[in-house]
């Protein structure tokens, strides 16, 4: 087991359960939407695990770190090494200095080794969505290339209830822990914290 010091002090079992339940609901909604559209990720060359994504919540960071603790020392060392390699290259990619796909350090032979602990965007990317913002404006987000090609007349996934619940949980977790930093982290950076 990894014995690294926790970033913050959290009532781990309680929060692990809360976050796990929210993510299960997201997974269920995603499965329904992808099933309705016929979308599968099999053999997709536009793999979202090769994409540059940032993650912004403390609860996603905490949940991923809980997953990292379950890895064997060998796997943890391998993942850390890959994260050290990936993090600076992702910075370059974000700055437009590098134009190549960089695999997520948690991807092993095409599969996520912390699938149960992956962040929100890993769960929802792919199908088209709508999001009603607090100011009442509705954002329409497109699906991935394959989804747009095949999903005709399929209703978009409504992310609004999940974002609301996540925002409430994030606020509560931050109040509980006194953590106030703004977060904008790649998976590689989350691993290296």
User: Which residues contribute to the site for ligand SF4 (CB under 6 A)?
Assistant: 49, 104, 106-107, 112, 118, 122, 187
Mark 132-161 as b/e (b = at least 16 C-beta within 10 Å): eeeeeeeeeeebbebbeeebeebebbebee
> Strand pairing partners for 99?
none
By beta-carbon proximity to ligand SF4, the closer residue of 28 and 155 is 28
Q: Give the whole-angstrom CA distance, residue 34 versus residue 23.
A: 16
Q: How far is the CB of 136 from ligand SF4 (least distance, A)?
A: 31
By beta-carbon proximity to ligand SF4, the closer residue of 104 and 157 is 104
Q: How far is the CB of 188 from ligand SF4 (least distance, A)?
A: 9
Crossing angle of helices 12-37/58-69, nearest 10°?
A: 100
Q: Write out 44-65 in H/E/C secondary structure.
A: CCCCHHHCCCCECCHHHHHHHH
Q: How far is the CB of 139 from ligand SF4 (least distance, A)?
A: 22
Q: How far is the CB of 102 from ligand SF4 (least distance, A)?
A: 11
By beta-carbon proximity to ligand SF4, the closer residue of 85 and 178 is 85
By beta-carbon proximity to ligand SF4, the closer residue of 52 and 138 is 52
């Amino acid at each position: 087991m990894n014995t690294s010091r926790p970033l913050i002090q959290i009532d781990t079992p309680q929060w692990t359960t809360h976050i796990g339940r929210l993510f299960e609901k997201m997974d269920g909604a995603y499965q329904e939407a992808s099933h309705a559209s016929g979308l599968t990720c099999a053999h997709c060359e536009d793999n979202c695990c090769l994409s540059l994504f940032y993650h912004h919540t403390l609860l996603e960071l905490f949940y991923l770190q809980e997953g990292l603790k379950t890895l064997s020392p060998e796997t943890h060392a391998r993942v850390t090494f890959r994260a050290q390699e990936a993090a600076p290259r992702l910075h370059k990619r974000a700055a437009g200095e590098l134009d190549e796909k960089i695999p997520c350090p948690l991807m092993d032979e095409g599969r996520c080794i912390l699938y149960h602990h992956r962040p929100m965007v890993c769960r929802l990317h792919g199908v088209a969505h709508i999001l009603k913002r607090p100011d009442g404006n509705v954002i329409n987000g497109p699906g991935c290339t394959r989804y747009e090609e095949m999903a005709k007349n399929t209703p978009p996934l409504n992310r609004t209830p999940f974002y609301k619940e996540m925002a409430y949980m994030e606020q509560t977790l931050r109040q509980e822990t006194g953590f106030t930093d703004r977060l904008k982290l790649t998976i590689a950076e989350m691993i290296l914290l």
